[in-house]
Structure 1
Amino acid sequence: MELKNLVTVKKIIETGNYQNAARALNYAQSTITFQMKQLESELGIQIFEKNGHKMELTQAGLDVLPIIDRILEATEELAYYHDRIEKMRGNLKVALPETLITYQIQPILRAFKEKAPNVKLSLQVMNCYAIQEQLINGTIDIAIHYDVGRYPKSITSHRIHTYPLVLVASPVLDEKQQDFVGENQKKQVCHIQNDPNALYLKIFNKYLKEKEIVLETELELWSIEAIKQSVMSNLGVAYLPRFTVERELATGKMIALETEMNDGEITAIYAYNKNKWVSPAMNLFLELLEGNEVTSCQ
């Protein structure tokens, strides 16, 4: 059995189809097709089936995937046998939301690059629900995100910190529009956001629905910094983790608006597959996270 065929299976899962996998591996698409036919013949099963433009694992493919993962991880572990932390190399894939990478995790990233300069650190910024899905599917090594629900038993998670949330506005916002406590309101205020599926926005939207508060418009921007600048320009209000606007609140460039939210906080966690081999690079990153005064969630 060719080890490279197992690597190709993982790349097809990661990229979605044979064509993308061929491009990523610098193969001809016919090579990918040949490798899969060879592997399926050796195993006596069909690994993939086509669903539109995407190749998806069959039930048999799902059944053998953990075995493929163990083989590839064991191979990687052997490659590291004489290459401990002093000569760290390889790849490490970490996914996290924009707010955490911008305002909280920078010291950890800096320390990691100083201790492991030869490791290719791939940082993927995405929605918390997508991060959780990526970790369960095995396409990333470490997930850092806000807690959006329990993982399967194969995943272990640890608490990083619980952060308060805050509704912010420009200090020149009309006083009548600053009321987010009274019920049954239709406000001439724009809701500025970057991702409607963000956990803290789900919390805010639930609150608006319960209070029967309707905001006039929504403005979706591409970054937290763009949102902050728009709020300071009095283009609308935004609901954000407080740590992202602490400086602006302290200097009076923004004000915090009163709400009656009982769940106005979110908890950041990190998670990884406990059944997966922990490479020296991954172990270092976890140690840096643990050194950030985290406590176990389990």
Structure 2
Amino acid sequence: MNIRTLETFVWIARLGSFRAAASRVYASQPSVSARIAGLEDQLGVELFNRSGKKIALTAKGREFLIYAEKMLSLYGEMLQTVAKPASIQGTIRLAVSETIAHTWLPQLIERVSEAYPAINLELDVDISINLAEKLKNHEIDIAFLMGSVNQPGIINRGLCRYSLIWVASPRLGIPDKPMSLVELATWPIVTYPRKSEPYVAIRSLVDPMNHSTRIHSSSSLSTIIRMTVDGLGVSALPREILHRELDSGVLREFDVDAAVPDLVFSAAYRAAPGGDVVHAIAELAFITVANRIGAMPKLSGTLNKL
């Protein structure tokens, strides 16, 4: 019985699948099966009921899970307290929205590499709706996403916010004076994907003025910017991702007589055993954001151990 075996057991219990757990612990399925078989032989009990379509814990398996999670939690706490950060190994699945990838993600990766040189980051860039589902399904360890993830056991902490500005290609000839909502509704709008907060907010602004307003949505921020530069519509985007386009003049800012709510991002991760490194990465993200805006957030004690 060792930490790797306990970790494998816990992931099978969480995911309900030997195959999914094998992917999560970076091992082959036969290796995972062998670990659990050896563990069951050592304990002299069956930990999983394999008769159904989905693997389920037996009564003894549920009892063992309590102790396994405690041991993993204590193991993680021990490493954070005693071991040098450089000696802590593993892979963290970090997922971010594209807005974060376009702003401060490179600085965060640099900080994580300095603090935990033996930790590998597996990066996933996706829309926030998908990131929330991946976190719920244990496919990722931590997400920096728009909004929050509402599920028991998941910690949500406010991270940063970006105000949106209206931009358009100069070729559209947008007037310099502030634009009314009635006028805005006559222009095609390029924005974030359906069901996202910006899409819903913009739709609620223009629909009362003109139900026939064309709204082109995309899950790719790069595509939204490209379509706006090409003059296919106007868009509301964070200034922080448009410095190159605004400085070069391929996009210009204009005013609208109504504000679109800020994009509010949070760090979401599970309060799971052995999650000290994940929590520390969230803290490093707060520092990275604070350095960009010139204000230091209040940090918890985990980071002090780095």
TM-score normalised to structure 2 length: 0.70
Secondary structure, counterpart of 2:249 in structure 1: coil
- Paired AA for residue 116 in structure 1: Y
Q: Give the structure 2 partner of residue 239 of structure 1.
A: 236
Secondary structure, counterpart of 2:171 in structure 1: coil
Which deviates the most, 1-10 or 97-106?
Answer: 1-10
The one of 26, 29, 32 aligned to 1:27: 29
Q: Give the structure 1 partner of residue 159 of structure 2.
A: 160
- Provide Cα deviations, 1:95-138, integer angstroms capped at 9, x if missing partner: 21011022123212112223322211122222223333444554
CA contact (8 A) 2:154 2:269 kept: yes
CA contact (8 A) 2:191 2:215 kept: no
Closer/same/farther in 2, CA of residues 219 and 267 from structure 1, 3 Å limit = closer
Q: Give the structure 2 partner of residue 282 of structure 1.
A: 278
Q: Give the structure 2 partner of residue 171 of structure 1.
A: 170
Structure with the largest fraction of strand: 1
The one of 201, 204, 209 aligned to 1:203: 201
Closer/same/farther in 2, CA of residues 87 and 64 from structure 1, 3 Å limit = closer
- Paired AA for residue 258 in structure 1: D
- Paired AA for residue 201 in structure 2: I
Which deviates the most, 131-140 or 165-174?
Answer: 131-140
- Paired AA for residue 105 in structure 1: L
Secondary structure, counterpart of 2:216 in structure 1: strand
Q: CA deviation at 1:286?
A: 3.4
CA contact (8 A) 2:48 2:56 kept: no
After superposition, the CA RMSD in angstroms is: 4.4
CA contact (8 A) 1:169 1:256 kept: yes
CA contact (8 A) 2:167 2:254 kept: yes
Tell me the distance in 1 between the aligned counterparts of 2:184 and 2:267.
Answer: 39
Q: Give the structure 1 partner of residue 304 of structure 2.
A: none
Q: Give the structure 2 partner of residue 255 of structure 1.
A: 252
Tell me the distance in 1 between the aligned counterparts of 2:208 and 2:55.
Answer: 40
Q: CA deviation at 1:158?
A: 2.9
Q: Give the structure 1 partner of residue 89 of structure 2.
A: 89
Tell me the distance in 1 between the aligned counterparts of 2:63 and 2:213.
Answer: 48
Closer/same/farther in 2, CA of residues 63 and 175 from structure 1, 3 Å limit = farther
The unaligned stretches of length 5 or more in structure 1 are none
Secondary structure, counterpart of 1:182 in structure 2: helix
CA contact (8 A) 1:171 1:254 kept: yes
CA contact (8 A) 1:155 1:273 kept: yes
CA contact (8 A) 1:156 1:272 kept: yes
Tell me the distance in 2 between the aligned counterparts of 1:71 and 1:214.
Answer: 59
Tell me the distance in 2 between the aligned counterparts of 1:209 and 1:72.
Answer: 52
Tell me the distance in 1 between the aligned counterparts of 2:168 and 2:187.
Answer: 13
Secondary structure, counterpart of 1:112 in structure 2: helix
Tell me the distance in 1 between the aligned counterparts of 2:63 and 2:241.
Answer: 43
CA contact (8 A) 2:48 2:58 kept: no
Percent identity between the aligned chains?
Answer: 19
Q: Give the structure 1 partner of residue 222 of structure 2.
A: 225
- Provide Cα deviations, 1:194-239, integer angstroms capped at 9, x if missing partner: 6334332232233233443533363636x32333222112122333
Which deviates the most, 62-71 or 127-136?
Answer: 62-71
CA contact (8 A) 2:11 2:21 kept: no
The unaligned stretches of length 5 or more in structure 2 are 300-306
Closer/same/farther in 2, CA of residues 141 and 30 from structure 1, 3 Å limit = closer
Alignment of 1:54-65 (within 5 A): 55=54
- Provide Cα deviations, 1:247-279, integer angstroms capped at 9, x if missing partner: 423443212343344452122222333454443
Secondary structure, counterpart of 1:196 in structure 2: coil
Q: CA deviation at 1:172?
A: 1.3
Secondary structure, counterpart of 1:204 in structure 2: helix
The size of the alignment, in residue pairs, is 286
Secondary structure, counterpart of 1:264 in structure 2: coil
Q: Give the structure 2 partner of residue 214 of structure 1.
A: 212
Tell me the distance in 2 between the aligned counterparts of 1:206 and 1:144.
Answer: 26
CA contact (8 A) 1:11 1:21 kept: yes
- Paired AA for residue 256 in structure 1: E
- Paired AA for residue 158 in structure 1: R
- Paired AA for residue 230 in structure 1: M
Closer/same/farther in 2, CA of residues 126 and 277 from structure 1, 3 Å limit = same
Tell me the distance in 1 between the aligned counterparts of 2:202 and 2:104.
Answer: 22
